[in-house]
């Protein structure tokens, strides 16, 4: 592997505080100046079972997770059994000697002596941090922040557990590649895809968000709810997903930039609403976090199998745009962009992400908020012709959008086919004009399409084509191939609809072999490329067992 990185895996059962210390370790690493890629792997239960929290760390920018583990920290014996096999040749396993597991490269620590069972997770954190050579001060500071609200006693006990762990492991070290001391660490944020989507929405000026809880998108709502009061916005947990999307449409109609988020099964309940947003030309941002389906599927795992579903969701024909973030930064910027495109085209716009990215924390450069004003919403009433016609026929299909109650004009919208002033009609010539008006807006959306990014060799022997969260793994796989002397490149789509062939046909045609890499079983994006361009991506690398695609997975398949 060309990349110098260390992969840390914390394992235990739900309820052991794994995520708490995982989050802390991630934060601590970033504060040391490292880059991270977190992969959260959990089950659909609250206690018990087997969960892991892996952090891949490097002093250099990284974009993907990694299969082989360098430092495995076990919160229970099971972790050693289940995950021991992933250990790299030079890796170390940290276990509690009380687990009674014996293994070659086990470092047996006396968890119970270092702190009470309640703080076993903090002990594990301390052991990992100390073995990785991380500053105890930075650790302690992070612990203090995290438990601040729980009172001085809890903080104190955690700090003691940490200290105990540091003391015990003093002098011990584990071979973990790629973690040189960074003298003046740059300030970076630690956030996952969901955080970044929430922040992106806030930055765009979201005023209303409605949701019904569903993994993996629930925490978008929780982040927004936690900040709603100070941000002057409303978050409403709806009675079901149908209500969620119809509320958001109502709010957007009345002038509040609005978003909903959900996962495939919840989105299935929203598709009539998607069609309504299109018909009433109401801007709406819809974030769909994919997970393995059909039906309830594997609620806490990842997949990229809702592309075609989202692309064709809603009865009838109308324009839309679909963004597919490949990184946490993408989540932020493309969410902003989604609000912009939705507002200007008065259409539903999607953010199609997945559990892996939703939960994957990364080190992110703080966003330059000063240069990122909220989007402009609606038209200025004084610039609009009277009598006001909400659906005035225009050349580009976009009619000036005013809000009800914000002047003497009346705003009328109808889910039936309607006249320019919004009233129900059965006049078939108006019908025809309105179909054409709505579809005309696709032209503008197309003109704004984010082109796919290209990385690697021009005219490569092998070109990987990806979309969404698979981007990071493919990028690293390409770099690795190139470091091994192979002419390789990556074409990644962070917007998957509309596609503009001129933006990428030369890349497809210029490669000796094109390989589609997708987290689904039927190569949906490859099919879409063929539909839109006629170009057949004959070879695909697919994964559909619920886990994210990694660089190793791609390299193994490519050979």
Partner 1 sequence: MVNLQDNGKYETAWCPGCGNFPMLDAMKRALVKLDLAPHQVLFVSGIGQAAKAPHYLNANLFNGLHGRSLPAATGAKIANKNLVVIDESGDGCMYGEGGNHFLAAIRRNIDITVIVHNNQIYGLTKGQASPTTDEGVVTKAQPQGVIEEPFHPLAVAVALHAGFVARSFSGLQDHLVDMIVAAVRHRGFSLVDVLQPCVSFNKVNTFAWYKKRCSELPNEYDPTDWNLALRTASEWGDRIPIGVIYKNDRPAFEDRIDALKGGPLVGAPVPQDALAQVMAAYA
Ligand X SMILES: Cc1ncc(C[n+]2csc(CCOP(=O)(O)OP(=O)(O)O)c2C)c(N)n1
Residue 551, both tokens:
């660089």
Q: Which of 214-222, 285-293, 347-355, 445-453 is the region at the interface with partner 1 (rule: CB under 8 A)?
A: 214-222
Residues 503-542 close enough to bind partner 1 by CB under 8 A: none
Residues 279-308 close enough to bind ligand X by CB under 6 A: 296
Instruction: Work out the end-to-end distance of the chain between its first and last CA atoms, rounded to an integer number of angstroms.
Output: 14
Cβ 496 vs Cβ 518: under 8 Å: no
Nearer to ligand SF4 by C-beta: 46 or 184? 46
x/- string (CB under 8 A) for partner 1, residues 281-310?
A: --------------xx--x-----------
Task: Return the beta strands (E) in 339-386 as ranges.
Answer: 348-354, 362-364
Is residue 34 near partner 1 by the rule CB under 8 A? no
Among 117, 167, 182, 226, binds partner 1 (CB under 8 A): 226
Among 1, 98, 138, 412, binds partner 1 (CB under 8 A): 412
Residue 177, both tokens:
């590649």
Indicate left, alpha or beta for 534 from its phi (over 0: left) and psi (-120 to 50: alpha). left
Residue pointed to by tokens 């999607």: 350
List phi, psi (to 5°) of 420. -60, -35
- Long-range contacts made by residues 378-385, C-beta under 8 angstroms, separation at least 24? 378/255, 378/402, 378/403, 381/406, 381/407, 381/409, 384/409
Instruction: Give the span between the Cα atoms of 480 and 457, in whole angstroms.
Output: 12
Is residue 546 near partner 1 by the rule CB under 8 A? no
Among 1, 138, 154, 222, binds partner 1 (CB under 8 A): 222
Nearest C-alpha neighbor of 450 from the set 504, 369, 411: 504
Among 172, 365, 423, 432, binds partner 1 (CB under 8 A): 423
Q: Dihedral through CA 46, CA 222, CA 139, CA 357, nearest 10?
A: 80
Instruction: Give the span between the Cα atoms of 355 and 364, in whole angstroms.
Output: 19
Q: Which of 263-271, 357-365, 446-454, 467-475 is the region at the interface with ligand X (rule: CB under 6 A)?
A: 263-271
Is residue 237 near partner 1 by the rule CB under 8 A? yes
Is residue 177 near ligand X by the rule CB under 6 A? no
Is residue 326 near ligand X by the rule CB under 6 A? no
Nearer to a second copy by C-beta: 36 or 549? 549
Residues at the contact surface with ligand SF4, assessed by CB under 6 A = 46-47
Which of the listed partners (partner 1, ligand SF4, a second copy, none) does 315 bind, with a CB threshold of 5 to 8 Å by partner kind?
Answer: a second copy
Is residue 416 near partner 1 by the rule CB under 8 A? yes
Is residue 203 near partner 1 by the rule CB under 8 A? yes
- Residues lying near ligand X in the complex (CB under 6 A) are found at 212-214, 241, 265-266, 269, 296
């Amino acid at each position: 592997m060309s990349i110098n990185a260390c992969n840390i895996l914390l394992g235990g059962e739900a309820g052991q505080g794994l995520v708490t210390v995982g989050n802390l370790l991630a934060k601590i690493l970033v504060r040391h100046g490292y880059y991270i890629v977190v992969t959260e792997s959990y089950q659909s239960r609250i206690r018990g079972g087997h969960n892991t929290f892996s952090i891949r760390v490097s002093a250099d920018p990284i974009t993907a997770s990694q299969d082989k583990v360098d430092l495995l920290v076990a919160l229970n014996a099971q972790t050693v059994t289940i995950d021991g096999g992933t250990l790299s040749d030079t890796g170390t396993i940290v276990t509690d000697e009380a687990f009674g597991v014996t293994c070659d490269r086990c470092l047996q620590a006396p968890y119970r002596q270092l702190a009470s069972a309640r703080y076993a997770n903090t002990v594990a954190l301390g052991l990992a941090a100390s073995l990785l050579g991380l500053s105890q001060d930075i650790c302690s500071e992070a612990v203090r922040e995290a438990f601040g609200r729980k009172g001085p006693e809890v903080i104190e006990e955690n700090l003691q557990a940490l200290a105990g762990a540091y003391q015990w492991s003093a002098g011990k070290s584990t071979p973990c590649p790629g973690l040189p001391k960074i003298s003046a660490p740059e300030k970076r944020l630690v956030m996952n895809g969901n955080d970044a989507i929430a922040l992106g929405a806030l930055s765009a000026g979201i005023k209303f968000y409605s949701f019904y809880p569903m993994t993996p998108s629930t925490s978008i709502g929780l982040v927004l709810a936690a900040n709603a009061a100070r941000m002057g916005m409303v978050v409403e947990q709806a009675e079901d997903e149908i209500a969620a999307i119809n509320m958001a449409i109502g709010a957007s109609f009345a002038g509040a930039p609005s978003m909903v988020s959900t996962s495939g099964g919840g989105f299935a309940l929203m598709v009539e609403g998607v069609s309504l947003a299109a018909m009433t030309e109401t801007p709406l941002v819809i974030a769909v976090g994919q997970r393995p389906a059909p039906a309830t599927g594997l609620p806490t795992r990842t997949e990229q199998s809702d592309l075609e579903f989202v692309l064709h969701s809603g009865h009838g024909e109308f324009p839309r745009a679909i963004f597919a973030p490949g990184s946490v930064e993408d989540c932020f910027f493309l969410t902003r962009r989604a609000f912009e495109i939705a507002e200007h085209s008065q259409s539903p716009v999607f953010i199609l992400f997945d559990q892996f990215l939703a939960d994957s924390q990364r080190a992110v450069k703080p966003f330059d908020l000063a240069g990122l004003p909220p989007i402009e919403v609606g038209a200025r009433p004084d610039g609009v012709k009277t009598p006001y016609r909400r659906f005035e026929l225009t050349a580009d299909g976009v009619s000036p959008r005013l809000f009800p109650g914000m002047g003497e004009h009346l705003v009328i919208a109808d889910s039936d086919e309607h006249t320019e002033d919004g009233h129900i009609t059965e006049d078939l010539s108006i019908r025809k004009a309105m179909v054409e008006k709505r579809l005309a807006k696709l032209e503008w959306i197309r003109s704004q399409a984010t082109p796919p990014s290209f990385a690697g060799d021009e005219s490569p022997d092998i070109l990987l084509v990806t979309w969404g969260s698979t981007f990071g793994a493919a990028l690293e796989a390409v770099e690795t191939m190139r470091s091994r002397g192979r002419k390789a490149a990556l074409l990644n789509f962070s917007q998957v609809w509309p596609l503009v062939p001129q933006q990428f046909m030369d890349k497809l045609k210029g490669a000796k072999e094109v390989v589609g890499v997708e987290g689904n079983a039927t190569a949906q994006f490859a099919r879409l490329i063929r539909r839109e361009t006629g170009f057949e991506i004959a070879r695909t690398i697919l994964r559909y067992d619920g886990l994210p695609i990694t660089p190793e997975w791609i390299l193994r398949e490519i050979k």
